Structure formats: C-alpha cells, structure tokens
Amino acid sequence: MRRFFVQNIFFLILVNLIVKPLWIFGIDRNVQIAVGHEAYGQYVALLNFSIIFQVLLDFGLQSYNNRTVAQSPQAMKGLFPNVIIAKSLLSAGYLLLVMLLGFLLGYGGYALLLLFALCFVQIFTSLLLYLRSNISALHHFRTDSLLSVADRLFMIAICSLLLFHPSLAPHFRIEWFVYAQIAAYLFSALIAFFICTRFASLDWRHYDLRKVWAICRQSFPYALLIFLMAIYIRSDVFLLERLLPNGREAGIYASAYRFLDVANNVTGVLFAGILLPLFGRMLAKKEPVGPLVRLSANLLVPLALTAMITAFFFGEDIMRMQLKGMAADYGYEGNVFSLLMAAFPGYCIGYVYMTLITANGNLDALIRMALVAVVLNVGLNLALVPAYGAWGAALTCCITQTYLSVYNILLARKKLQLHTDWPWVARYLLFAGLVLLVCLLVRHLELPLWPGLAVISAGAVSAMLLCGFLSFRKIGELFRNK
C-alpha cells in the first residue's frame, strides 16, 4: 500500500508542479498586475464569498461518495445518477441564495454581475470535483492526477491569449478572467464525465428522488463540516474587503496568500485526495494506518517547515520579485507573506490527520473542532483587521491553523490509538534547526534570491536525509515493481 501511495503521489505532485505554478505565477499574478490591487482584491473577496457557500453545491456528497465508493466500488452504479440529480437541484438553490445574500450585503451593479459569474465558476468546479471523486475512489489516481490540472491547462491557454495578445492585453478586465474559468471548468467536467462512464456501468433508468433525499441526509454531517471549514479558511479576504472598503489591503493579502495557495495545492490538497480513499479502504479492512500516516507526515511537514523558515528570511525579496512593476510597500507585504507561510505546517498536519479522522467517520468531533475554529477566526479577524489590515488577517490565519493542527493530532491519537513517538518529534525539531542554520548562512553570505533558494533547497533535502525522513534506498524499493 505504501509503494502504491508513493508512486501515485509522486506522479500527482510532478504533474501539478509543472502546471499549477505556471498558472499561479504566469497567469494569476499577471492578472493582478494588469488590473491592480483594488480590482483584484474585490474579485478575490467575491470569489471567497462564493466559495463559503459552495457547500450547498456539494452538501458533503463528494466526501460521502469518495468514502462509499472506495469501500464498495459497485455502489457507484446506483449512486452516480442520483447524485447528479441532487447536484442539479442544489446548484439552483446555491445560485439563488448567494445572489440574495450578495444583494443584502450591499453589492450591486458591476459587483453583483461579477458575483453571478463566479457562482457558475463554483457550480462547474463542484461538478468536476464530484466526478473526480469517483475516479480517485476507484483508485485510478493517475487519471485523476491529469484531471487535477486539466482546468488549469485550459485556463492557461485562454488567459495567455487575453493577457499577452497585443490587441487584447491593453483592454484586459477582471471579468474576462472569470469567463475563462467558467469555460475551463466546464470543458474539464465534460471530460471527467466521459471518463466516469467508461470506468463504471451506470444505470440511468432508475433514479429515485427519495434516494436523493436519503443521500443528502446521510451526507449532511460532511456538508456542515465543509461549510464551517469554508468560513474559517475563506472569510479573511471577504472581511478585509468589507471592513476596509478601498480594497487595497484585500489585494495585498491576496498577493501574499498566492504562495500559500500554490503550496497547498501542489502538496497537501493532493495528498488528501489520495489519502482519503486509501485510509477509507484500509480502515474498512482493519489494516494498520500508522505507517502511512508517518510516511505522509515525513514527506509533507519538512517541506512545510522549510517554506515557513525561508519565508521568514526572504519574505520581502520574494514579494518584490512577484510584484515587480507594481507600486507596493514590499516590506509590509513581505511581513504579511512571512506570517501567512507560518500557517503552512498547520495546513499540512491537517491534510494528514484530519483526512484520517474523516475516513474513520468521526465527524461529530471534527464539527465541534470546526465550530471553535470559526469563532476563533471570525472573532480575531473582526478585532485585528480594522487596526492591522492584511497583517492582522495573516496573524489570524496562523493562530487558527495552529489550533487546528494540535486538535487534529490529539483527536487522531484518541480515536485511532496512535501513540506519540517523541524521538520522531525530536527529529522534526532537529530538521527545523538545520534549515534555520542554512538560511542564516545564506543571509550571511548575501547570496542573490535564486541562488540562495537553491542552497536552502539542497540543505533541506540533506537535512531530510540526515533526520531519516527520506531514504533513497527505501524510495527505490517503493518504485520497484517487485
């Protein structure tokens, strides 16, 4: 199982490392430069507002479906048609609710039209994620890996034309960016739908609205958990835009968050997508999950610690590189970025331990955890954002993720009898200390940014080998067919 996991996770990360950084820094970054902090900040605020209520599109169906099909692949035949009907009904309700709430919150005219378009981005995104959940549940991980970047490839093609064509670039507007996303997600969803029909025999003749209701009722705990997670993850930019209406602080936060977003998307999110069905099947067969938990943490957490420490030393330089050509306070934006990256280890711990707890079905405990996180996150944002702007939102994110990581580890220990290995914990502290020394050396030598980052990367890999997180011999064994 570990060989199967490593082979697929390396392929998944490789594919995403090729495509998603190109999307983030080649397209998304240039969109912000083209339209400015204010317009981009409003777009991100509206995007996050639409994402908060995305739970109505899914209602926990994706997690429920992934876990159910992973444990019983034949269940897909009956589930698929009913879930498609359920998602169609939920999409209509989502669109009505988000537009009504947007109007009541004071959005109007251009902003309301942009929110309307972003609702369709979420509708097609949710559909694509559901279709992919069937493919990953059936353990076709390489196909799912390619689908995970299909939407970005379509967007890169469309937006490259809009951003860089001489006759179109001077007139670029943020809504063009949104329309490109709608088209890309729709095309990708159609491809995923076709693949699902090839992987499983689906019975379209029998659907039952009572079964649809039963599925929604069973998946309600997943829906509630996802909704609460969306609030504590996505409310920051929305609150920045509402509490500080000029939009600049929201744009600054969005530009710093871009790095955290790409880090999450090419590591933790991908791990969780593979780990959920693997954990689900292993728990159903009563196989020990400890070795896979340890392997996942050994791959994710050192990477997160390296990114956090590097951001502390080079935050200002990285933000200057990203926003070259824009009028910006690089020192302030560097501080916001450094603080945000301090939340990355917490995210990575959650991708392993929270995924394990979800696969084990302990949703009541996760919901209680998420409720506390919502109160903590929203309360701190309301207190800190008016006084400290984007820096206050970044501090809130860091505190929230620290709380969640500690809770997830303790809950996993309690529910799955995972023991604490203190020598293993000590190795993480040693690793962090070694990376810190490498960063201090690079600063002392006054190396330029890119050579400095290369030295830190080499030092981090060496530290992983020294601390036993990586072993070329074991990795070679995992990739052998025998």
Mean pLDDT by 10 residues, the chain (482 residues): 58 70 81 84 87 80 72 74 83 93 87 93 91 79 78 90 88 92 93 83 66 74 85 87 79 86 76 78 83 88 95 90 68 92 94 90 91 96 93 95 94 85 90 96 91 94 89 56 44
The answer to whether 99 and 111 are in contact (CB under 8 A) is: no
Q: Which of 162, 178, 49 is nearest to 114 (CA)?
A: 178
| Residue/partner pairs of 117-122 with CB below 8 Å, 24 or more apart | 117/175, 117/178, 117/179, 117/182, 118/46, 118/47, 118/50, 118/178, 119/50, 119/94, 119/95, 120/182, 121/47, 121/50, 121/178, 121/181, 121/182, 121/185, 122/50, 122/51, 122/54, 122/57, 122/94
**pLDDT at residue 105, as a whole number:** 85
Does residue 386 form part of some domain? yes
Query: What is the Cα–Cα distance from 189 to 129, expressed in whole angstroms?
Result: 8
Q: Exposed, middle or buried, 331 (CB in 10 Å: 0-12/13-18/19+)?
A: exposed
Does residue 270 form part of some domain? yes
Q: Which of 41, 20, 17 is nearest to 326 (CA)?
A: 41
7: tokens are 């082979």
User: How far, in Å, are 144, 273, 314, 346, 370 from residue 407 at the CA level?
Assistant: 30, 21, 30, 10, 10
Q: Give the end-to-end CA distance of the chain in Å, rounded to a whole number.
A: 13
Does residue 85 form part of some domain? yes
Count CB atoms within 10 A of the CB of residue 211: 17
Does the global pTM surpass 0.85? no
**pLDDT at residue 140, as a whole number:** 75
Does residue 415 form part of some domain? yes
Does residue 137 form part of some domain? yes
Q: How many domains does the chain have?
A: 1
Helix ranges, 323-362 (H): 330-341, 344-359
Does residue 457 form part of some domain? no
Query: What is the Cα–Cα distance from 482 to 478, expressed in whole angstroms?
Result: 9
Does residue 43 form part of some domain? yes
Q: Which domain holds residue 193?
A: 2-419
Dihedral angle of Cα 27, 28, 34, 38, to the nearest 10 degrees: 180
Does residue 356 form part of some domain? yes
Q: Which of 142, 155, 121 is nearest to 270 (CA)?
A: 142
Query: What is the Cα–Cα distance from 360 to 366, expressed in whole angstroms?
Result: 11
Query: What is the Cα–Cα distance from 258 to 390, expressed in whole angstroms?
Result: 13
